Structure 1
Amino acid sequence: MIKSPLQIARESYSPKLPKALKGSVKIVEGKNTESVADQSDIQKLFPNTYGMPVLSFEAGDSSANNEVMNVGLILSGGQAPGGHNVISGIYDGLKKLNPANKVYGFLGGPGGLVDNKYMELTDDIVDHYRNTGGFDIIGSGRTKLEEEAQFDKGLENCKALGINALVIIGGDDSNTNACVLAEYYKQKNAGVQVIGCPKTIDGDLKNEMIETSFGFDTACKVYSELIGNIQRDANSAKKYWHFIKLMGRSASHIALECALQTQPNVTIISEEVEANNMTLDQVVEYIANIVAKRAANGENFGTVLIPEGLVEFIPAMKKLISELNDLLAHHEEEVNAFESNKEKREFVVTKLSPEMAEVFKSLPNTFANQLMLDRDPHGNVQVSMIETEKLLIDMVKAKLKKMKKAGLYAGKFSAQGHFFGYEGRCASPSNFDADYCYSLGYTASVLIAEGKTGYMASVRNLTASADEWIAGGVPVTMMMNMERRHGAMKPVIQKALVLLDGAPFKALADNREDWAINTKYVYPGPIQYFGPTEVCDLPTKTLIEESK
């Protein structure tokens, strides 16, 4: 493989670790925990892993198991910058405990565990991937582990390799699967531990013990660089409005973080739209009014940031999508049997409630068609396939036309649509993510050595220097609640939404009127890997605001 100069230079980067992980580690147990909601239901489903204490690590005498251990790794779900450093942290931690320990990577995600597709990770392999983006070391996948037959087959394959523990590196749904697997193996006294690591660029896997998921920092910096480039172009040409959709199906953390980094004219926050019970037309009117105000100042250009999950937060659309999810779960074959989208739409209308049927019929056909696309493996609409940015451009254009006729708008409106998603998922991790991910992996190795299962690796105090970070473990059941999936109630990790009374959103709210009318763009530029720590090791604006 031919390597770029940056790849070669990054191979020599040594990730920073919390001081508690640099020597012998002592485990400190906190109070016993309970789930964030639906306590009795979650406890019944997870009797063997519910209520465990939060763990923190300190320097001190270790009670860790130094006998030979074999560990299996799984990368699950979408890619996020830093996954390779999680693996290198696990690998180094286990080899430090005992050089005879072996690490196996199951190929292509959770399906590799069931299909027994794996490779042993060695120094030569791991060293090649240190501080690099992507998940290509072993590949990822979205196979759901939810059937006992899968659990049993995975256990059989683990036993054949002498594997004592599995680490599942994934988001909220993947770590929910990890918790289910941990419970099943504990119940059977199978002798296989299961540990999770918090991954998702969306930033919606967070709580008091998980301050941020890995990859969020890098992805937001990549998107912010691109937004800054577009804003500089807009401010140069002075003739285009750029509507930029950003990843974030279930929460608006990416849009909020990128707004704080770049100061665009309009930032739509899905959670705010829902809280204010806004209609799609009201969202359009809000944008159009800002376009008109800027035009009155002679500025017929600007930027609009849009979370990809916006349509699911507009109350009427949310209700429609919920009905569609259930409908398509129960009538999938019938819908797919129709050859034309027109026939599919007509069939769907007959199965919706009268109120939602009217909403569905009122949508543009192209948009209605996108709402009927195949669901993801978790039964959710694939919002990345819905061209919300183009829908809003068309609706704003129509609104401005009416405003012009009424004498309320006198400018010119030309718009460009963008979607930033895959551009950020496999970027070379920032120093923050390189350090954070390596620490998470190292933490997972300690949890394994201490015989823990049903825990997620946790590293906190992230706005301090890495030396002062606090490593430990949090029971996955602590994060869980019951939600409707595929038409049935299932235990899942509760998604963390943008808090409208939180410091990051308030920072946006305090400045949005100024940024809307005045051109106060910030151009972050590319991620810096070499140079002063205040430039290279800076965490997200979100973490900085939350720590104030």
Structure 2
Amino acid sequence: MNQSPLQKARYQYSPKLPGMLRNGISEICVKEGNATQSVADQEKIAALFPNTYGEKEITFEKGENTSAAKKQVVGVILSGGQAPGGHNVICGLYDALKATSKENVLYGFKNGPIGLLEDNYVEFDDAYIDAYRNTGGFDIIGSGRTKLETEEQFAVAAKVCEKHGITAIVIIGGDDSNTNAAVLAEYFAAHNTGVQVIGCPKTIDGDLKNEDIECSFGFDTATKTYSELIGNIERDANSAKKYWHFVKVMGRSASHVALECALETQPNICLISEEVAAKKQSLSEIADYIADAVEKRSANGNNFGVAIIPEGVVEFVPEFKVLIAEINELLAGNKTEEFNALGSWEEKYAFIEKGLTAESMAVFAILPQTIQQQLFLERDPHGNVQVSLIESEKLFSALVKDKLTERGFTGKFNALHHFFGYEGRCAFPSNFDADYCYSLGYNAFMLIQYGYNGYLSKVSNLSKPAEEWVAGGMPITKMMNIERRNGEDKPVIKKALVELDGKPFKFFEANRDTWAVETAYTYPGAIQYYGPTEVCDLTTRTLALEKGE
């Protein structure tokens, strides 16, 4: 296979481990902390997890390894969307497992959790692992979005584990995947299977985060990749001086990616979904806010700019949420067929006008026709509007154009549109993500060796050099609360949204009025893998601000 020079060089990179994990497996001991409780709904969560709730947080320290010696047969699963560094979690897990005993075995279940249910796996060896060290993507075994949540599935998983003599399963995923890991761990404990379950925190969206999980893996690489592209666009905008670029970035539920990219590149506009919801902003108000910046910049002779739009922002606009709910109701049952049978858009528009309240129709009417039609095109399996298909970057540029026309704007406004999503999910991991992920995998094996179940592999103090990172684990139940999902109360890991009183947002808020009018762009450039530490091992601006650095 042909390989680029960078590929070859990255295979040789030795990821940095936290200090206490560098001592050698035989010199790592456990320090137990306090017992834990869930973030909310303590009684309900405790009742649902009687065998795994309330366990203690732990950290690893230098000292004599007191774990019982036994052969470990571990299965690993990649779950959900790709995030840079996933391969290194598996490499770290493999290296720790083999450093303990050559007899230990690591199976990779293919294509996500379905691989465990279908007993579809590969057994890793040195050659297989070495081909994926420090690389992006999840192609080492593939990923999938099958949820492990039913008793039938758990019973099948237990049988597969018994067949192979599996002692532990490591699930690498986001909040939903780690919720599944916690439920599976509880089932295995309740049925005395002897199989442990360990989770690893993954998501480029950055919403698997709390006082214990400072950063989910992949966020660093993805935001650096998007920020390089946004910086390039800013440089182009400042060179051509004739386009407003509307850039949509990943983030359905939270705006961590948008905020981090704004902190790295200082664009003229960045919308934060959580602020839109908190201030109950309307589409018209948001469009006015952007149009104000366009007018002020134009008055200074700058008919160009850059606006960052989070992928899911429209779902946070209160009036838009109401509109979506009404459309879902309008097309419930067999109404979809009745709607689709109408021939022209004029007939369909009249049908919509008759079915919506005056308030929602007023919102619908200001949408560009292309967006109106998108709302009535494809439904999800439950018959609901697929909000993720809405091209919000085009929606806002069209609304801004209408606002400017209403105002009698005489300057120039030419919009270009971009969506950065897949470009960042499988990038070559930054040194930070390569080191962090390898540490998470290595650390996951230590949790297995010491017999922990239903724990999340945890590495903290991440804004410091890797030598000072702290490795350990926490019960997954600590992050859980009860939420309404599909009409049922379910235990789930609480999503972390952008905190409007947090230091990263406050810094952005203090500077954005200046950035809106002035051309204050910063150009982060490409991720650097070799060179000065202050350039190559740079942490995210979000993490640096949170830690006061």
Q: TM-score, normalised by structure 2?
A: 0.93
Q: Deviations over 1:266-291 (max 9, x none)?
A: 01111111111101110011000100
Residue equivalent to 2:432: 432
2:519 matches 1:525: no
Q: Deviations over 1:90-122 (max 9, x none)?
A: 111111111111000110001111111111111
Cα distance between partner residues in 2 of 1:334 and 1:155: 44
Cα 1:344–1:411 shift into 2, 3 Å:
closer
Q: Is the 8 A contact 1:335 1:344 kept in 2?
A: no
2:303 matches 1:291: no
Residue equivalent to 1:398: 402
SS at match of 1:129: coil
Higher mean C-alpha displacement, 422-431 vs 144-153: 144-153
2:60 matches 1:52: no
Q: CA deviation at 1:398?
A: 0.6
Q: Deviations over 1:138-186 (max 9, x none)?
A: 0000111111111111111111111111111000111111111111111
Cα distance between partner residues in 1 of 2:28 and 2:451: 14
SS at match of 1:131: coil
2:115 matches 1:115: no
Q: Is the 8 A contact 1:179 1:477 kept in 2?
A: yes
Q: CA deviation at 1:332?
A: 7.5
Cα distance between partner residues in 2 of 1:320 and 1:26: 56
Residue equivalent to 1:62: 65
Cα 1:456–1:269 shift into 2, 3 Å:
same
Residue equivalent to 1:197: 200
Cα distance between partner residues in 2 of 1:353 and 1:256: 35
Residue equivalent to 1:182: 185
Alignment of 1:159-308 (within 5 A): 159-308=162-311
For 1:511, the aligned partner's letter is N
2:21 matches 1:21: yes
Higher mean C-alpha displacement, 487-496 vs 87-96: 487-496
Q: CA deviation at 1:191?
A: 1.4
Q: Is the 8 A contact 1:214 1:437 kept in 2?
A: yes
Cα distance between partner residues in 2 of 1:194 and 1:324: 42
Residue equivalent to 1:309: 312
Q: Is the 8 A contact 1:268 1:307 kept in 2?
A: yes
2:11 matches 1:11: yes
Q: Deviations over 1:283-307 (max 9, x none)?
A: 0110001000000001000000011
Q: CA deviation at 1:349?
A: 8.9
Residue equivalent to 1:466: 466
Percent identity, please: 60
Residue equivalent to 1:505: 505
Q: CA RMSD in A?
A: 2.4
Cα distance between partner residues in 2 of 1:137 and 1:68: 24
For 1:240, the aligned partner's letter is Y
Cα 1:100–1:137 shift into 2, 3 Å:
same
Q: Deviations over 1:327-382 (max 9, x none)?
A: 99xx58874897569799999999988866775677555435544644489x9975
2:458 matches 1:454: no
Cα distance between partner residues in 1 of 2:491 and 2:136: 31
Structure 1 stretches lacking a partner, 5+ long? none
Cα 1:359–1:295 shift into 2, 3 Å:
closer
Residue equivalent to 1:385: 389
Cα 1:56–1:169 shift into 2, 3 Å:
same
Q: CA deviation at 1:318?
A: 3.1
Q: CA deviation at 1:385?
A: 2.0
Cα 1:516–1:144 shift into 2, 3 Å:
same
Cα distance between partner residues in 2 of 1:88 and 1:436: 12
Q: CA deviation at 1:383?
A: 4.5
Residue equivalent to 1:94: 97
Cα distance between partner residues in 2 of 1:509 and 1:402: 28
Q: Is the 8 A contact 1:345 1:368 kept in 2?
A: no
Cα 1:345–1:137 shift into 2, 3 Å:
farther
Cα 1:229–1:472 shift into 2, 3 Å:
same
Cα 1:349–1:432 shift into 2, 3 Å:
farther
Cα 1:363–1:58 shift into 2, 3 Å:
same
Residue equivalent to 2:411: 411
Q: CA deviation at 1:63?
A: 2.2
Residue equivalent to 2:161: 158
For 1:434, the aligned partner's letter is A
Residue equivalent to 2:83: 80
Q: Is the 8 A contact 1:326 1:487 kept in 2?
A: no
Q: Is the 8 A contact 1:308 1:383 kept in 2?
A: no
Cα distance between partner residues in 2 of 1:262 and 1:427: 19
Q: Is the 8 A contact 2:241 2:303 kept in 1?
A: yes
Q: TM-score, normalised by structure 1?
A: 0.93
Q: CA deviation at 1:489?
A: 2.3
Q: Is the 8 A contact 1:67 1:98 kept in 2?
A: no
Cα 1:20–1:369 shift into 2, 3 Å:
farther
For 2:241, the aligned partner's letter is K
Q: CA deviation at 1:490?
A: 1.6
For 1:533, the aligned partner's letter is T
Q: Deviations over 1:221-277 (max 9, x none)?
A: 000000000000000000000000000111100111000100100011111111111
Cα distance between partner residues in 1 of 2:385 and 2:476: 26
For 2:487, the aligned partner's letter is G
